[in-house]
Amino acid sequence: MTDSVADGMDGNIGVLGGGISGLTFANLVGRAEVLEKEWTAGGLMRSVKEDGYTFDLGSHILFSRNKETLDFMLGLLGQNVITHRRNTKIFYKGIKVKYPFENGLGDLPKEEAMGCFNDYKTAYEKREKGELKAPQNFKEWMRYRFGKGITEKYLYPYNRKIWDYPPEKMDIFWVEGRVPQPPLDDVRKAAMGEESEGYTHQLNFHYPAKGGIQAVTDALAVKVGKRLKTGFEVKKVRREGAKWVVVGPETRVYDRLVTTMHINDFVRLYDGVPKEVREAAGKLKWNSIHLVMLGLGKAKLNDIHWAYIPDSDILPNRISFPSNFSPNAAPPGYSSVLAETTFAPGGEKAWMKPDEIVERTVEGLHRIGVLGRKDVSFTKLVTCRYAYVVYDLDYQENMKVIEAFAKTEGITLLGRFSEFRYYNSDRCIESAMEKAKLFY
């Protein structure tokens, strides 16, 4: 993989935002300059380092189905990498069920496991015979694909919690391919207590030995070098003839424009956006996340990497154990937990006070036996405004309007919140690679 390409075209390119998408793009296109509002680049792939702990902005691991992409990520880390075999659970009614749930049915009481399998089989067979109505929304899709048991015990409550949006109001075009469909026999074996694995492209994952997930974006930032301007918050963008004028702490003029900012923010600061485009962007759904970072005065809590918590009585939807990703993530003799609570903007959890978020997180994790309250010796709360894109039923219609506008203006949308897709970092990298080709 080449670091940067020879400039086949004239003209300089402005890239708004220095997360993994903007940095990868600028790494490939030598005449691109990245404007990043924070003093540290990396976006969602930054890490908080405090009191000997390293926490990411939400649990991040490195994996990809695509070897070229994975090689690119790992190439950035060199020797600074640890490879793990996933040990991931769903905390369900006091039982640690192996993830994915359908492969962990054997951890449930026999009767519940067989109930889930029978429902899975019924859905499977009816679907094959064409006896099931095609699902119209995400809730219907869960029943259609996984049957009643797995849906009601895990899929529905967990998805209701992570999106903080009703699955019955979510589209399904994105789930096929993303949520794998295990063979009937695997689910039968799982229910009988035999070992089977699902979601296998992520079964082995990688993580930086030092520096948290930010080690990846730090390495990219070094390659981009002086073409990365941090502390540059873009406030206004306007078109002047064939050029773009970008106003921030200073004014920059570009021949081409790539934006990785959240599409809503971009639309707000771009001069002369038509009303229908502003309205379409305003209708897009997304959620935010509270991250409670906990340090514990115990050398080892468990050997789990991360766990999902579908129970709505417990605040976090997912927890991870950074000190199990890398021993460098916590001081010697200590361990760490990162608890994630996603929430809809303006919803109930958006208004919780910081102390209440930390307290309810610790209390909940104590109650389900993850940690002992008395062991908690470090707490920190970070809230990120943008976490997940939510594919509501109007998503595709709204995106058509926005994409058509970007195309007419000649602006390249790149990355998770600009293309507005549920991209992991591997897809951000791939999209940057694909788009960079248009500039060679």
Ligand X SMILES: Cc1cc2nc3c(=O)[nH]c(=O)nc-3n(C[C@H](O)[C@H](O)[C@H](O)COP(=O)(O)OP(=O)(O)OC[C@H]3O[C@@H](n4cnc5c(N)ncnc54)[C@H](O)[C@@H]3O)c2cc1C
Query: Which positions lie near ligand X, rule CB under 6 A?
Result: 16-22, 35-38, 43-45, 58-61, 232-234, 260-261, 265, 289, 340, 387-388, 415-417, 423-426, 428
Nearer to ligand X, 362 or 389 (CB): 389
Nearer to ligand X, 102 or 265 (CB): 265
CB of 80 to ligand X, least distance (A): 17
Give the list of residues 6+ apart from residue 7 with CB closer than 8 angstroms, or none.
29, 30, 31
Q: Which of 43, 94, 133 is nearest to 415 (CA)?
A: 43
Give the list of residues 6+ apart from residue 230 with CB closer than 8 angstroms, or none.
18, 36, 38, 39, 40, 41
CB of 113 to ligand X, least distance (A): 29
CB of 342 to ligand X, least distance (A): 8
Phi-psi region of 225 (alpha: psi -120 to 50; beta: other; left: phi over 0): left
Nearer to ligand X, 57 or 116 (CB): 57
Please give the DSSP secondary-structure letter assigned to residue 168: G
CB of 418 to ligand X, least distance (A): 7
Alpha-carbon distance values, 268 to 236, 281, 387, 433 (Å): 9, 9, 19, 27
Nearer to ligand X, 147 or 415 (CB): 415
Instruction: Give the side-chain half-sphere CA count within 13 A for 405.
Output: 22
Residue nearest to ligand X (CB): 43
For 105-145, strand residue ranges (E) read none
Nearer to ligand X, 112 or 430 (CB): 430
Nearer to ligand X, 45 or 97 (CB): 45
CB of 388 to ligand X, least distance (A): 6
Residue 397 to residue 57: CA distance in whole angstroms:
31
Please give the DSSP secondary-structure letter assigned to residue 224: H
Nearer to ligand X, 150 or 267 (CB): 267
Q: Is the dihedral of CA 20, 49, 315, 104 positive or negative?
A: positive
CB of 305 to ligand X, least distance (A): 10
Strand pairing report for 32-35 and 13-16: parallel
CB of 314 to ligand X, least distance (A): 17
Judge whether 335 and 270 are in contact, CB under 8 Å. no
Q: What angle do CA 59, 61, 67 make, to 5 degrees?
A: 160
Nearer to ligand X, 43 or 167 (CB): 43
Residue 403 to residue 370: CA distance in whole angstroms:
45
CB of 46 to ligand X, least distance (A): 8
Nearer to ligand X, 151 or 341 (CB): 341
CB of 108 to ligand X, least distance (A): 27
